[in-house]
Chains A and B, each alone.
Chain A
Amino acid sequence: MSPIDRRLLIHMNWVLLGLAALLFLVGVMNLYSASGYRLEEGVSVSSFYQKQLIWGLMGFAGMITFMLFDYRHLKTIAWPLFWVTVCLLIAVPFAGKTIYGARRWLDLGFFNFQPSELAKITILIIGAKILSRDSDPLNFTKLAYVVGVGLVPAGLVILQPDLGSGLNILLILGGMVLYRGLTGKVFKSLAVAFPCIIPAGWFFLHDYQKRRIISFMNPASDPLGSGYHIIQSEIAIGSGRFWGKGFMGGTQSQLRFLPEKHTDFAIAVFGEEWGFVGAITLLSLFCIFLYQIVVTARDAKDLFGSFLAAGVFFYFFWQILINMGMVLGLMPVVGIPLPFVSYGGSATVVNFCLIGLVLNVSMRRYVFKQG
């Protein structure tokens, strides 16, 4: 059977693909507005949106690649992939390249590769493999096994130190565990234990991370740093009011922000220019987008595919939750981009690749098992 069967195309979740493309274009447009402002002054950041378009094309290619093979092959390579990822993560502190004071990158010559990005994809595949063995709710033993597997890459990433990505890995896996379900006993125990574990985590935070949390509670305590962001971001979004100030008409978000306006605070620009109407539209697009992934998880041919989709769901869900929560002043400032909308090369490519993975699951839901 040729890799592209007509039936494959018919069964593919076209709505999901369309939404991803739409969100990406909204992001490019928003970036154009954010950086193209005052082009007459020759501000060089205008090239951001052009770069983003190129990343989008690369992401599209990645997406096609992730659609071509049968996702069930991933089950076979799950463990080798896991160990390769672990090895790369171990290599980072020794062979890594330091950028912005953190050693997180491996220099592959043509581009800087961030193993923690790979770890997010790996955890979703290995998680799907482990969790799809049967469908009973998880008991303590099984949960401990799953958590143990997740802690290896997550711990290595946190040690880099990259707390954000490390927690992200755990959150993706945690979401998948939630999807699978826990026995009543496990659920109750965790419900009691969590409130105790979280304050203890405070002591593991770096000073700058603590400062962010404190400034979130009280923005005035750090008006220079993250508090400044929160205040500015609220003013920008709030001043957009119902209809917004129009495309490229934002005054608050334009360049007054620090560089993050291209990346983490993209939605502040959007909220100011498109107002409540635009913000709710964008929010709805994201929700439908997430729902389409849920639909794929529901209709998947097998549990492995279903869990893969669930993993991708949580991959996006947490990012949307944390980024919007941060920009809207509901959460401390952490550097998490908004999927498809924020500027960012590798993030864009990874996002499209994961969409490719979900499409892969959706298009093979009725395929006959050969041989």
Chain B
Amino acid sequence: MNHLYESKTQQPPKIGLIILQALILLLFCVFALRFWYLQIHKGSYFAEQARNNQLRQDQLYAPRGLIRDRNGYLLAVNEPAYALGIVREDCKDFDSTFKKVSEWTGVDIGKIKSVFKKKKKRIKPFEPLILVPNLSFEQVALIEANSLHWPGLEIVVRPRRKYKYGKLLAHVLGYVAEVDEEELEKDHDLSVGDFVGKQGLETVLEKRFRGIKGKRQSEVDATGRKLEQRILKNPVAGEDIDLSIDLGLQELGGKLFKGKAGAVVVMDADNGQILAFVSSPSYDSNSFVTGLSTKEWKTLRDDPMHPLQNRVIQSVYPPGSVFKLAIAGCGLHNNMLDPKETLFCPGFLKLGNYVFRDWKKWGHGDVDLKKALTESCDVYFYKVGMRLGVDRMSEFAKACGFGQRTGISLPHEKAGLIPTREWKRKRFHDIWHPGENLNMAIGQGYVLVSPLQVTRFIASIINGGKLLRPQLLKGEPAEVQSKIPLSKDQLAIIKDAMIHTVEGAHGTARRLRRPDVILGGKTGTAQVVKLTDEIKKMKDSEIPYKYRDHAWMASFGERGDKKYVVVCLVEHGQHGGSGAGPIVKAMYNYLFPPIKGENAEENKTKS
């Protein structure tokens, strides 16, 4: 025995040991008493509570912000929708319940099961898991009447997006649909079954539209019946948003495009506000909210007219003669074009072994800049294009906003294409040939632009050169992105030529002419394919649809302090004036309601 460790100083503290034991006793007594109080004294009370009253929390859906047009007409609202949910905890027999649900709703039982399997990981057992998202009133009535026999099934009322003009604004508004796994992972405010924006403004402004969910506490009895409910947190509705779109104008545009493919855009030239944004054909936004069947989706996707394509920003076309406005600007900017200088047009231009033809077989004769634009003389611009060369032309076209996104707040915008030597080398491993300058000068060849880019460019001609970001929301301040490099005088020359295109006796946009509005325009015909001689010989109406040229009409209208740009593209519409002209004309009739009587002329001179 080693006595070192038994010395008095090494004795454990006696009082300390007593304290430790006293603490154990205290611990036992306090908790034993508490258990007795909860489990014996109040046991039957709590057992009753457990049997009858279970507290559950569920979410209250926040209504999505409303969407209105510039005049306050509602475009997107919320309506109550009925969904069939299943509360796992209350359900006794899943298989027979699924069978019943399938019987009531006509939804395939396999689908119900797979929905259930997929969602249950993310939904608490006492929360309704949505099995069938959209029920008809008949189905609701049928289920309500039988619900007592099927514990766990519950009709869930949720706000659902309703687009009052489903097809008309699909390409602007987009649509909402149920969240997918990826979105759930990224955004923790979302839960299974929520609707989120998937396309258009609905997705771009998702955060503003969404609102904040509320919370509700329910007391539930053993069969899942709700006894008493208490709102713990009220939901906060999402923000309402007013668009710059004018519903009347948009409707008119939609109507004019019935049966046609193409786009028409109306923009306020001073601030970039978009008044009409028509892409035709369109699809119904509502069909995505209620859910498309695979078959419906396939039909939409494979439709040869491509209704899902947003032709205003996602389709790019050769600009045809509309591009001549930019080439004219380029010539002026580089001091390589004198507006008074005339060039002779015999109806063709020979370059090496190639013959470049004018659209007018017998030629325009002596042509100055104004006449060249007014009558859309090709040979004049061939010559200008040769003078300028690709480098100057592409640099200037880019300065006009071509070949780059406009920055409109919609997803998946395309940039289009302005070719350069470098681009061609990379793309085709080939040098830039002189002949390609000619093609480029008349907006053919590789040049590709979107209708919205053209709209923005035309607006810049009449607003002093400002390239504006197109705005879709009302009251959004004008945003000048850059200025096109033309002086006031140079802009005036082009503008004047555009007016002459409408007013002049040989102008290609004569049909727009109106006594009470200053109108300027430029037509364009964009070749779809290099036409064979055989097709060239055909009459317009005999050419197969897919070989017909696209028709462009870029225009502006001024009256008083109102300045609008209307740009229209009709796919396979053949000629700018006849194909797109009537649509543009009708749009102006809406924008500038005709003034009756002799005031008309007077009004025009004043402005």
Residues of A within 8 A of B (CB): 38, 41, 44, 134-135, 178-181, 223-224, 228, 231-232, 234-242, 251-252, 255-256, 271, 275-276, 279-280, 283-284, 286-287, 290-291, 294, 297-298, 300-303, 306, 310, 313, 317, 320-321, 324-325, 328-330, 368-369
Contacts and interface: CB of A to CB of B under 8 A. Distances in A.
A19 to B, nearest CB: 13
A279 B125 CA distance: 27
A243 to B, nearest CB: 10
B592 interface: no
Interface stretch (B38-46, B295-303, B371-379, B404-412): B38-46
Contact of A321 (B27, B88, B121): B27
A310 B16 contact: yes
A291 B24 contact: yes
Contacts of A256: 54, 56, 89, 125-126
A242 B24 contact: no
Contacts of A306: 12
Given A224-B232, A238-B38, A328-B31, 16 more contacts: A179-B17, A231-B55, A238-B39, A238-B47, A239-B50, A241-B44, A241-B46, A256-B89, A256-B125, A271-B38, A279-B39, A283-B32, A297-B17, A330-B34, A369-B4, A369-B5
A38 B2 CA distance: 61
A235 B49 contact: yes
A135 B39 CA distance: 44
Interface string B21-42: 1011101101110111011101
B532 interface: no
Given A179-B20, A223-B217, A224-B215, A276 B35 contact: yes
26 contacts: A179-B16, A179-B20, A181-B15, A224-B217, A232-B55, A238-B42, A238-B43, A238-B45, A241-B40, A242-B39, A251-B50, A252-B54, A255-B125, A256-B125, A256-B126, A271-B35, A279-B39, A283-B28, A291-B21, A298-B17, A301-B5, A302-B5, A303-B10, A325-B31, A328-B38, A369-B2
B146 interface: no
B46 A280 contact: no
Chain B contact residues (Cβ within 8 angstroms of A): what range?
Answer: 35 or more
B425 interface: no
Q: Which 3 A-B pairs have the closest CB atoms?
A: A238-B46, A239-B50, A179-B16
A142 to B, nearest CB: 14
B120 interface: yes
Contacts of A300: 12
A338 to B, nearest CB: 12
A328 B125 contact: no
A106 B217 CA distance: 40
Contacts of A276: 35-36, 39-40, 43
Interface string B95-124: 000000000000000000000000011001
A275 B46 contact: no
A306 B576 CA distance: 101
B11 interface: yes
B39 A237 contact: yes
Consensus secondary structure, chain A interface: helix
A283 B36 CA distance: 12
Contacts of A238: 38-39, 42-43, 45-47, 49-50
B9 interface: yes
B50 A252 contact: yes
B57 interface: yes
B234 to A, nearest CB: 13
B126 A178 contact: no
A297 B39 contact: no
A289 B36 CA distance: 22
B19 interface: yes
B13 interface: yes
Interface in B33-76: 34-36, 38-40, 42-47, 49-51, 54-57
A303 B44 contact: no
A179 B34 CA distance: 27
A280 B24 contact: no
A283 B12 CA distance: 27
B151 to A, nearest CB: 14
A41 B120 contact: yes
Contacts of A181: 13, 15-16
Nearest to B28: A287
Contacts of B57: 224, 228
Contact of B27 (A180, A236, A287, A298): A287
B12 A178 contact: no
Given A275-B39, A301-B5, A328-B38, A41 B88 contact: yes
Contacts of B39: 237-238, 240-242, 271, 275-276, 279
Nearest to B23: A317
Given A179-B16, A231-B55, A291-B21, A324 B47 contact: no
A29 to B, nearest CB: 19
Interface string B355-398: 00000000000000000000000000000000000000000000
Contacts of B51: 239
**Residue from B31, B44, B47, B233 with most neighbouring chain A CB atoms (10 Å):** B31
Contacts of B42: 238
**Residue from B11, B20, B42, B55 with most neighbouring chain A CB atoms (10 Å):** B20
**Residue from B23, B30, B36 with most neighbouring chain A CB atoms (10 Å):** B23
B12 A297 contact: yes
Nearest to A293: B20
A232 B45 CA distance: 13
